[in-house]
Amino acid sequence: MILALTNATLVCPIGGITKGNLLIRDGVVVATGLVEIPADAQTIDCAGKTLAPGIVDLGVAKIDRAAFRAGGIVRVGLMPDQSPVLDDPGIVQRAALIGKPDLWIHPIAAATQALAGHDLAEMAVCLSAGARAVGTGKGWIADSGVMHRVLAYARDLDIAVVTHAEDGGLTAGAVATAGETATRLGLPAAPAIAEALAIARDLMLAEDTGARLHIRQVTTAASFDLIRAAKRRGVAVTCGITPAHLHLSDIAVSDFRSFAHLSPPLRSESDRQAALAAVADGTIDVICSAHDPRGPEEKRLPFADSSAGMAGAETLLPLALMLVRDERVTLSRLFALLSRNPAAVLGLDTGTLEVGKPADLLLFDDQAPWQITGDAFAASANNTPFDGLPVQGKVLRVWKGGREI
C-alpha cells in the first residue's frame, strides 16, 4: 500500500525546498513533488506544513525515547560511555536492537577497552554487532601513540572516529572556561585553548593515517580555524556543535546555574560568534543535541560538584531553526546539519527526501510559538539551560520507515 503525504512543504538537503506530495511504499520514499496520488493510497494532508528528513542525533548520552520522539529524532548515535561501556559485541548488539522499530539506535563503540585510552577495543567485532563508528566518549585519549593506532585501525575498517576534544591535562578538575565569569564565581576553569590543542593533535594524526575524524562538539574560534585549514588540505574531518554553544556564552553560568554546566563548557561571547560564523561558512557539519538528561540528584549541587550535561533532544529543532530565522543557514542546509551529515558520519544512506531512501520523516510547523519549560519535558530530566526561552517550531508528526510513531 502507498502512503501519500500531500500538500507539504518538502525540505531536502539535496533537492532543496519544494511544494507538493511525498509517496511512501514499503517504508521507502518512492516519489516526491507534484506527483499524482494513486487512487488506493492512504492520504495524509500536511496542510502546507514542513516535511523534512527525520533528525539523526549524533552522540546522545542516554536512550530517552519519549524525548527523541518529541524532538523529531528518528535515529541516534549512542555514546560509548554507557554502563557497561559499549566495548563488547553483546552490549553493542543489545543497544542496537532495543529501540526498534520506532527509534534506531546506532551505537558508537568504544575505541579503546573500557574507554581507558590504553588498549584497542574490538572494533570490527563491535561493527558486526551493529556499531556504526568508534569513539572516545566524553573523554580524551591522552596518549598520542594510542590515538595514532586507534585512527590507523579505524581507517582500515572505513569507520569514523568520534572524539571529544579537550586536552585532559589542561581541563583536569575544571568545570568552566577561564574568563571573567569563572574568575568572579571562583570556579575551577581551563583555558579555551584546551580544545584547539586537542584538535590540532588529532587533525595531524588523522591526516597522517588517512582516517575519518568526527569531532563531536567544537566550540572555539581557534578550533574552527584549525578545522577550516585541515578541510582545505583534504583531511577527512567533520565536526559538530550543540545549540547551547551557538546561543549561550559562559555568562549563562552566572549564579552558579548547574543546568549550564556542560562539557565542553560554555565559551566566551567571541567564541560563540565564531561558532555562528563557522555554521554559516560550512565549517560545522553537524548540529546535535548532546542529550544527557540529569536529575536533581546530579544537578541540585554546588556547580563544581554537579554533573555536566543538558537535556537537549526536545529543543534541538526550535533552537536550530533560530539559525534559519537569523539567516545564518537556509532551511535545506539546516537539514544537512541535522539529518544528512550526521547520517553520513555513521555511514548511513539516509537523511534526505530522495527517492529510494528510508521514509524517516518529520512534519513540523516552523512558525508555531512555544516556551521552553523544563518541567513539561517528555525527557527523563528537565536540565535545560534554555528554561523559559520563547521559541518557534513545533514537531507535529514523525514517521520511521514509513510508520508513524
Partner 1 sequence: MQRSDHRPATLIEGGAVFPHRHLTGIDGLQPHEIAFLLDEAETWVEANRTHATPDKRLAGLTQINAFFENSTRTLLSFEIAGKRLGADVVNMHAAQSSVKKGETLIDTAMTLNAMRADVIVIRHMASGAVRLIADKVDCPVLNAGDGRHEHPTQALLDALTIRRRRGSIAGQRVVICGDVLHSRVARSNILALTALAAEVRVCAPSTLMPAAIHKMGVTPFTDFDAALEGADVVMMLRLQNERMDGAYVPSTREYRMRYGLTLERLARAAPDALVMHPGPMNRGVEIDSAVADHARSAITEQVEMGVAVRMACLDVLTRRARGVEGWA
Chain residues in the site for partner 1 (CB under 8 A):
178-180, 182-189, 191, 255-256, 297, 300-305
CB of 294 to partner 1, least distance (A): 14
Give the three-class secondary structure for 294. coil
Q: Provide CB contacts within 8 A for 156, sequence distance 6+.
A: none
Cα–Cα distance for residue pair 140/163, rounded to 1 Å: 7
CA distance 36 to 22: 10
Rounded alpha-carbon distances, angstroms, from residue 276 to 92, 126, 279: 35, 36, 5
Q: How far is the CB of 304 from partner 1 (least distance, A)?
A: 5
183 within 8 A of 230, measured Cβ to Cβ: no
Nearer to partner 1 by Cβ, of 254 and 373: the residue is: 254
Q: Between 109 and 266, whose beta carbon lies closer to partner 1?
A: 266
Q: Which stretch of DSSP H or E encloses residue 124?
A: helix 123-128
Least distance (Å) between residue 41 CB and partner 1: 57
Q: Which is nearer to partner 1, 204 or 304 (CB)?
A: 304
Assigned C-alpha cell, 136: 572516545
The residue among 90 and 302 lying less far from partner 1, judged by its C-beta, is 302
- Measured distance CA(229)–CA(224) in Å, rounded: 8
Considering the complex, what minimum distance in angstroms separates the CB of residue 136 from partner 1? 27
Q: Which residue lies nearer to partner 1 by CB, 19 or 184?
A: 184
Least distance in Å: CB of 258 to partner 1? 9
Smallest gap from residue 242 Cβ to partner 1 (A): 23
Beta bridge partners of 205: none
302/369 with CB nearer partner 1: 302
What does the buried/exposed string (b/e) look like for 221-250 if buried means 16 or more CB atoms within 10 Å of the residue's CB? bbbbebbeebbeeebbbbbbbbbbbbbbbb
Provide, rounded to whole angstroms, the least separation between the CB of residue 299 and partner 1. Answer: 11
C-beta closer to partner 1: residue 99 or 385: 385
Contacts of 162 (CB under 8 A, 6+ apart): 58, 59, 77, 108, 133, 134, 135, 136, 214, 215, 216, 345
Q: Are 313 and 67 in contact (CB under 8 A)?
A: yes
